[in-house]
C-alpha cells in the first residue's frame, strides 16, 4: 500500500488542507514543522482514514464530532487506486468522493491484512512511542535476541509479556506445588478416580443385584395386581352396603304408591305455584290481621274524638287554606335561592345567546322559540328512534328465546307419556269452584281494607293538620283543645 494524498478537510487544527505525496515508485517523504504545527494530528488523521475514528478523540476542538472528515488516495501493489473519505460515525462512515456510502470490503486489498495495532507499532510511530521503545530496549539488560524479536514483530514490551506469561504459568502449575490450579485439578482427578473405583461393582455382583431387582419387581407387580383385585371387591361391597338402605326405602315408597292408587300427574310448575299462592295467602292473612288490629285502634281513636261540626262543614276550605299557606311559606323560604338561580340562569342564557346570536339581545330571545320547538321535535324523534331500536333488539332476543323455549317444550312434550284420564281431577276442581271464588273474596277483602285504611288516614290527616284549632264539646263554657 502507498499513500498518495491525505485530505485534512475537518480534523484537529486543519480545515480543507491537503498533503500530497507524489512519486512514481516507492519513496521516502519527510514532513518538517515546528511544535504544535499538526504533525501528530496528521498521523492520527491517517489512522482515522485507514481504520476509522476512535470513540473518544482530542481532535474536535475546532470541529465537532459530527463534522470530523478526512479523505485520501491509496495505491496497492497492483497499481490500483482508491479515493475515499471517512466520517466519525458508527455505521456508514466510509464514503466515496461524492459522499455516497461505500462497503468496508473495498479497503481490504489496499490494507494487505495490516491491523491497527501492527500499523501503530511499525508504521505509525510517534515521538512518545520511540521514547517508550528505547526504554524497553534498555530494560532487556543485554538480551539482544529479545530486543530484535520485539522490534521485528512490532511488540513494544516483550519483556513484560514474557514475565506475565511466566507468572501465569506459575499460577497454573508447579512440579512440587499444591495450590496452583493444575495441581489442584490433578489432585481432584486422582480423588475422583479413587471414588469411582470404590463405587464400582464387579460383573458378578452387578448380575446378582440385577437378578434380585427383577425378582423384586415381579413380586411387586404380583402384589399390585392382588391389591387392585382386593380394592375392586372392597369397592363393590361398599356400594352394596350403601345401596341396602336405599333399596329398603325404595320398596317402602313403592308400597305407599300402590296404596295411593292411580295418581293424576300435574304439570311441572304446579308445586311452585302452590307454594307461591300459599305464601301469598299467609302474607295476606298476616297483613289482614295487622290491618284489622290497626283499624280497630283507629276506630277507637276516632270514636274518642269529638268533632266541631261547624268547622268540619268548612273542611274543604280549611284544607285549601292550609295547603296554600304551606306553599306560601315554602315560597317565602325559597325566594332568595330562586332569585339567585334566576340571576345565574339569566347570565348563562345571555352568555349562550352571545355565542349563538351575538346580534340578538336577551329581551328578544322569545323569537327563537319556534327553533327550539323544532329542536325538541328532533330530539323527541331521536329518542323515539333509539327506543324503537331497543324495542326491536329486545323483541329479537325475546323471539329467539321464545323459539328456543318452544323447541324445548316440543321436545319435552314428545318425551312425555300418553295423557291419562283426568276426570277425577276435573270433578275436584268443580267442587272447589262450587265452594266459591276464594281469590275474588280475598281480593275484595283486601280492597275493603285498603279503602278503610285510606279513609282513616285521610281523616287522621285532616284532624292532625290543624293542631292549633279548638274543638268544642258540650256546652258553651266547656271546651277541649
- Residue at grid coordinates 307461591: 276
CA distance linking residue 205 with residue 213, whole number of Å: 12
Answer whether 14's CB lies under 8 Å from 38's CB. yes
Task: Check the CA dihedral 326-331-332-337 and report its sign.
Answer: positive
> 155-158: which pairs have CB atoms within 8 A and are 24 or more residues apart?
155/121, 156/121, 156/129, 156/132
* Residue 409 CA: distances (Å) to CA of 268, 394, 402, 404, 413: 12, 22, 10, 9, 6
Residue 101 near residue 94 (C-beta atoms within 8 A) = yes
Name the architecture of domain 2-124: 3-Layer(aba) Sandwich (3.40)
CB atoms within 10 A of CB 357: 13
Integer CA distances (angstroms), 39 to 58, 71, 87, 127, 481, in order:
14, 16, 20, 11, 126
pLDDT tens track, the chain, 481 positions: 788 899 999 998 999 999 988 877 777 888 888 888 888 888 888 899 888 998 888 888 888 888 999 999 988 888 888 999 999 888 888 999 888 999 888 888 888 788 887 787 777 777 777 676 666 655 554 444 455 455 555 555 556 666 777 777 776 666 665 667 777 788 888 888 888 877 776 788 888 888 999 999 999 999 999 999 999 999 988 888 888 888 888 888 888 878 877 767 777 888 888 888 889 999 999 999 999 998 888 888 877 776 666 666 777 777 777 788 878 888 888 888 888 888 888 888 788 777 777 787 877 777 777 766 667 676 777 778 788 888 888 888 888 888 888 788 777 777 766 666 666 666 666 666 665 566 676 777 778 788 877 777 777 666 654 444 443 334 434 333 3
Question: What does the alpha-carbon distance between residue 136 and residue 478 come to, in Å, rounded to a whole number?
Answer: 141
Please return the burial class of 388, using the count of CB atoms within 10 Å of its CB with bins 0-12, 13-18 and 19+: exposed
The 3-state DSSP class for residue 200 equals coil
Average pLDDT, the chain: 78
pLDDT score of 471: 38
Whole-number pLDDT of residue 7 = 93
Helix boundaries (H) for 39-92: 39-51
**What pLDDT, on a 0 to 100 scale, did the predictor assign at position 224?**
92
Contact 86, 49 (CB under 8 A): yes
First to last CA, the chain: 132
CA angle 113, 117, 118 (to 5 degrees): 55
Query: Would you say how long the chain is, in residues?
Result: 481
Cβ atoms of 140 and 159 within 8 Å: the answer is yes
Distance, CA of 169 to CA of 161 (rounded, Å) = 12
- DSSP label at 419? P
Burial label for 96, CB within 10 Å (0-12, 13-18, 19+), is middle
DSSP string, 223-270: HHHHHHHHHHHHHHHHHHHHHHHHHHHHHHHHHHHHHH-S-PPPPTTH
Cell of 195: 471414588
Helix (H, G, I), strand (E, B) or coil at 7: strand
Three-state DSSP class for residue 115: coil
Tell me the domain boundaries of the chain.
Answer: 2-124, 145-196
What does the radius of gyration of the chain's CA atoms come to, in whole angstroms? Answer: 58
Which residue in the block uniquely carries the three cell numbers 530484535? 148
Nearest one of 300, 326, 322, 301 to 311, comparing CA atoms = 322
What is the tally of helices (H) and strands (E) in the chain? 14, 5
Other residues' Cβ atoms within 10 Å of the Cβ of residue 71:
21
Q: How far, in Å, CA of 129 to CA of 116, rounded?
A: 15
How do residues 430-441 score in pLDDT, each as one tens digit? 666 665 566 676
| 3-state SS, residue 139 | helix
The answer to whether the CB of 12 falls within 8 A of the CB of 62 is yes
What pLDDT digit, counting tens, does each position of 176-216 carry?
656 677 777 888 888 888 888 777 767 888 888 889 999 99
pTM of the entire structure?
0.34
Neighbours of 147 (CB within 10 A): 19
Inter-residue long-range contacts of 337-346, CB under 8 Å, 24+ positions, other chains counted: none
8 A C-beta contact, residue 74 and residue 82 = yes
Cα distances (Å, whole numbers) of residue 257 to 159, 204, 253, 263, 424: 115, 78, 6, 9, 18
Amino acid at each position: 500500500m502507498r499513500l498518495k494524498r491525505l485530505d485534512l478537510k475537518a480534523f484537529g487544527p486543519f480545515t480543507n488542507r491537503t498533503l500530497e505525496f507524489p512519486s512514481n515508485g516507492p519513496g521516502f517523504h519527510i514532513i518538517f514543522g515546528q511544535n504544535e504545527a499538526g504533525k501528530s494530528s496528521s498521523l492520527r488523521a491517517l489512522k482515522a482514514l485507514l481504520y476509522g475514528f476512535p470513540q473518544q478523540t482530542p481532535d474536535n476542538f475546532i470541529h465537532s464530532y459530527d463534522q470530523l472528515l478526512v479523505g485520501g488516495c491509496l495505491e496497492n501493489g497492483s497499481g490500483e487506486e482508491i479515493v475515499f473519505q471517512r466520517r466519525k460515525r458508527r455505521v456508514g462512515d466510509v464514503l466515496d468522493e461524492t459522499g455516497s456510502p461505500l462497503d468496508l470490503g473495498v479497503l481490504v486489498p489496499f490494507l494487505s491484512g495490516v491491523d491497527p495495532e501492527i500499523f501503530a507499532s511499525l508504521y505509525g510511530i510517534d515521538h512518545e512511542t520511540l521514547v517508550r521503545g528505547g526504554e524497553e530496549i534498555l530494560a532487556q539488560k543485554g538480551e539482544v535476541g529479545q530486543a530484535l524479536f520485539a522490534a521485528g514483530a512490532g511488540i513494544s514490551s516483550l519483556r513484560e509479556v514474557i514475565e506475565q506469561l511466566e507468572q501465569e504459568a506459575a499460577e497454573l502449575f508447579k512440579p512440587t506445588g499444591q495450590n496452583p490450579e493444575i495441581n489442584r485439578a490433578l489432585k481432584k482427578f486422582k480423588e475422583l478416580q479413587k471414588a469411582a473405583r470404590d463405587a464400582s461393582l464387579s460383573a458378578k455382583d452387578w448380575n446378582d443385584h440385577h437378578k434380585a431387582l427383577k425378582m423384586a419387581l415381579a413380586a411387586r407387580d404380583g402384589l399390585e395386581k392382588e391389591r387392585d383385585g382386593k380394592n375392586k371387591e372392597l369397592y363393590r361391597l361398599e356400594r352394596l352396603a350403601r345401596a341396602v338402605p336405599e333399596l329398603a326405602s325404595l320398596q317402602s315408597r313403592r308400597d305407599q304408591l300402590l296404596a295411593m292408587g292411580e295418581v293424576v300427574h300435574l304439570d311441572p310448575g304446579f308445586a311452585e305455584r302452590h307454594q307461591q299462592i300459599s305464601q301469598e295467602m299467609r302474607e295476606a292473612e298476616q297483613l289482614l290481621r295487622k290491618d284489622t288490629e290497626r283499624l280497630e285502634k283507629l276506630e277507637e281513636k276516632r270514636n274518642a274524638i269529638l268533632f266541631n261540626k261547624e268547622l268540619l262543614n268548612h273542611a274543604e276550605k280549611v284544607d285549601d287554606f292550609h295547603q296554600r299557606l304551606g306553599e306560601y311559606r315554602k315560597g317565602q323560604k325559597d325566594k332568595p335561592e330562586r332569585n339567585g338561580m334566576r340571576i345565574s340562569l339569566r347570565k348563562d342564557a345571555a352568555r349562550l345567546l352571545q355565542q349563538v346570536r351575538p346580534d340578538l339581545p336577551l329581551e328578544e330571545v322569545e323569537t327563537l322559540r319556534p327553533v327550539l320547538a323544532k329542536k325538541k321535535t328532533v330530539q323527541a324523534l331521536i329518542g323515539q328512534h333509539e327506543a324503537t331500536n331497543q324495542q326491536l333488539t329486545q323483541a329479537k332476543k325475546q323471539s329467539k328465546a321464545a323459539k328456543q323455549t318452544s323447541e324445548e317444550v316440543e321436545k319435552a312434550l314428545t318425551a312425555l307419556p300418553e295423557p291419562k284420564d283426568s276426570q277425577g281431577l276435573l270433578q275436584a276442581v268443580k267442587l272447589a269452584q262450587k265452594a266459591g271464588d276464594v281469590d275474588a273474596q280475598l281480593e275484595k277483602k283486601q280492597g275493603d281494607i285498603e279503602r278503610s285504611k285510606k279513609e282513616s288516614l285521610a281523616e287522621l290527616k285532616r284532624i292532625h293538620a290543624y293542631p292549633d284549632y279548638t274543638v268544642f264539646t258540650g256546652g258553651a263554657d266547656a271546651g277541649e283543645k
